Amino acid sequence: MSLEIRMLTLGLASTNAYLIGDTASGAAVLIDPVDDAPRLYQAAQEAGWTIQLILATHAHFDHVLASKALKELTGAPFYIHADGVPWLERLPQQGRMFGVASFPEAAQPDRLLTTAPEVLQVGAIVLHTLYTPGHAPGHLSFFLPSERIVFSGDCLFAGSIGRTDLPGADYDTLMQSIFTQLLPLGDDVRVLAGHNQPTSIGRERKNNPFLMDYDGNDL
């Protein structure tokens, strides 16, 4: 089994999209269709991969702007947590909320994920869902055990955490998500987040000021 991961940083908020390719079968999964569907599609084609599944960590505009166009280009199903649907349906309005022009409509989800852990498989790509709300309703992270990688969306960043000043966000819920879902994965696990550069669980456990300052007595 040989998997390869390509990161593309796109859009107004410099958001990271991740292409995971099974180099043996050519099957690929796209995590967060952030923006510029043609570029995401082209990146897969250049690698010799076919996108067979599109996943969103959450429904904030910068993570789903290309969802509809990419789904039309690839024919791949689009999965998101059920609690993200209200935000997804308001994608055109999200633009005005953030002070820019209206955005296009989002893709219709083909499947709504839940809080219960699930295993999603495409070829040799096996992803485990982790329910990590706090930054956004229905936020999910995706763990790739074979590569010891977690795609944390806007839950945990290198040296920081997701914003909790947005509607539907909650600081304590976010910290609970990090401490109960992400940190137990192990210090060796690499963290590929929705923004900024890669990091690791161990590095964030030791150096992230938000984690170091958090009073976890309620965990």
List strand residue ranges (DSSP E) for 111-154, in order: 111-113, 119-122, 125-131, 140-144, 149-153
Q: Which comes out higher in pLDDT, residue 161 or 94?
A: 161
pLDDT at 12: 87
Q: Which comes out higher in pLDDT, residue 199 or 100?
A: 199
The alpha-carbon radius of gyration of the chain (Å, integer) is 16
The pLDDT tens digits of the residues spanning 127-159 come to: 999 999 999 999 999 999 999 999 999 999 999
Residue 200's SS3 state is strand
Q: Which residues of 136-157 are buried (b: 16+ CB within 10 A; e: fewer)?
A: bbbbbbbbbeebebbbbbbbbb
Q: Which comes out higher in pLDDT, residue 104 or 8?
A: 8
The pLDDT tens digits of the residues spanning 17-61 come to: 999 999 999 999 999 999 999 999 999 999 999 999 999 999 999
In the numeric block, which tokens belong to residue 145? 């055990």
Whether the pTM exceeds 0.85: the reply is yes
Reference 140, options 152, 149, 122; nearest CA is 152
Domains and CATH numbers, the chain: 3-213 (3.60.15.10)
Query: Cα separations (Å) of 106 from 115, 122, 168?
Result: 22, 23, 19
Residue 143's SS3 state is strand
pLDDT at 96: 75
Task: Please give the mean pLDDT across all residues of the chain.
Answer: 95
pLDDT surpasses 90 at 219: no
Q: What span, in angstroms and rounded, lies between the C-alpha atoms of 60 and 137?
A: 10
